[in-house]
Structure 1
């Protein structure tokens, strides 16, 4: 039986709980809920091999921010969302040197809107490496940040992971922040949630085209991942809507992905939130108003 498809650790935990016997206990996993800047924050920590096997994800910390207020365009939602992303990312970066170069890698295909989160994020990320080196009298207090829009294999002839690895060898960053689109099991989480983790990322997750992973093992430095679910697998969605445990046979439609009709505006909004959030985490002395000025 094919499993419901999701890239969110929170949903993997929910699926395990739905399929497990009532007396079963999820071993090797810890979970807790908080709020940050008024947004629901749900954390899943995979502690050991038991948790990895149960949820099908590598050990580490996964934080899911739910941003319904942003989708409704509530007053003040954008700066709160950016600060929430920045705060959780800064927490995940605990132990990473706070002065070394940070490399932001946007993964995905700009030509495919649901997969364009990564390429668009770098447009809203404050890059400072060149400024720190060339104008130290004004930018010497900033952390050096470089940003890379890696493209896709079909357009560049290079795996995103190969390109990121080559850049890491040249620049020797203290950490990498990788951004990509993800897949959810639920319509209610599409473009409503942001997942952050300290485990790295596999490019192409959101469009079902898993490639070379970007993680500490492949790049040699800590890799923080930021992802937004922009698609739902059609068979997974059908099973949820029908209330079935098994995925229905969809024939030729088994490879379909479903995405919101206003995906273009939602991707633009979330790319800006994530870009600002990353910049706030890397430059803790700045606020949203400062970024508005510096990125305008």
Structure 2
């Protein structure tokens, strides 16, 4: 019987699985944990092909933030988390030149709540490209930003990657920030973590429905991916609690996924958090209060 391999889009979970299977720290991975503005950050870097093969993720940096303080309604947690996330985005994207054109892409299906992280984030992202070109003096301190939500293949008949390529051909952005929902292996991480990576993204990979990759190689410009886990594959649940053999035997004919009962409010809150962080990272000098006024 073929052993089931647990599915997750989170790099640090893939490292946990690989280390458990190997009974040791697998090679090719650098891993540290830090605290930034009171937020726990797991920093993982895949530094070799061996490391990429070991955890099944491309070479590059993966930073995961613990945003569980938001669900506990802790004072100042929103501002602190947004600030930490904005700093990480700035570092990974190398956002020093304020005139670089950035394309923000909200991946996913707006009509399916666990998959709506990307489109909802896009709705709260400041769009400034047209304003910069029409009123350059009034918007001198803003970066030119365009936003799209390409939908999904099943509703548009167009691969997200093809849609983005066409837009890139017209706009020639200097950077893409792609936002999408992810899959995790642990319930504790659903809408409780945000992963930011400079390796791009493969939509649907965590639930076995991989689409065309969106990365620097396919788009021609750097791609920063921001992902929030909202679902767990049912076979991964079986493997997590009863072992891989249970997943292989009991879940072999199942393609179910599991999501929290409170997913509506959690997706709404988390997408707002991601959008605010993107806004702060792209437009230096603005505050959370400024974003409230501009997108509210």
Q: What's the TM-score, normalizing by structure 2?
A: 0.95
Give me the CA root mean square deviation: 1.5
Q: 1:16 corresponds to which residue?
A: 18
Q: 2:6 corresponds to which residue?
A: 4
Cα deviation for residue 268 of structure 1 reads 0.3
How is 1:1-296 mapped onto 2 (pairs within 5 angstroms)?
A: 1-21=3-23, 24-94=24-94, 97-242=97-242, 244-248=243-247, 249-251=249-251, 254-296=254-296
Cα deviation for residue 139 of structure 1 reads 0.4
Partner Cα distance (1:86, 1:5) in 2: 28
Partner Cα distance (2:25, 2:13) in 1: 16
Change (3 A) 1:47 1:253: same
User: How big is each residue's C-alpha offset from its partner over 1:47-74, in whole Å with a ceiling of 9 and x where there is no partner?
Assistant: 0101011011100000000111111122
Q: What's the TM-score, normalizing by structure 1?
A: 0.95
Q: Give the SS at the match of 2:130.
A: helix
Unpaired segments ≥5 residues, structure 2: none
Partner Cα distance (2:207, 2:28) in 1: 29
Cα deviation for residue 246 of structure 1 reads 3.4
Q: Give the SS at the match of 2:34.
A: strand
Partner Cα distance (2:290, 2:183) in 1: 33
Contact 1:96 1:174 in 2 (8 A): no
Cα deviation for residue 204 of structure 1 reads 2.3
Cα deviation for residue 256 of structure 1 reads 0.8
Change (3 A) 1:72 1:206: farther
Cα deviation for residue 205 of structure 1 reads 3.4
The number of residues matched between the two structures is 293
Cα deviation for residue 95 of structure 1 reads 6.9
Contact 1:3 1:247 in 2 (8 A): no
Contact 1:106 1:148 in 2 (8 A): yes
Cα deviation for residue 178 of structure 1 reads 0.3
Partner Cα distance (2:212, 2:240) in 1: 30
Partner Cα distance (1:95, 1:274) in 2: 17
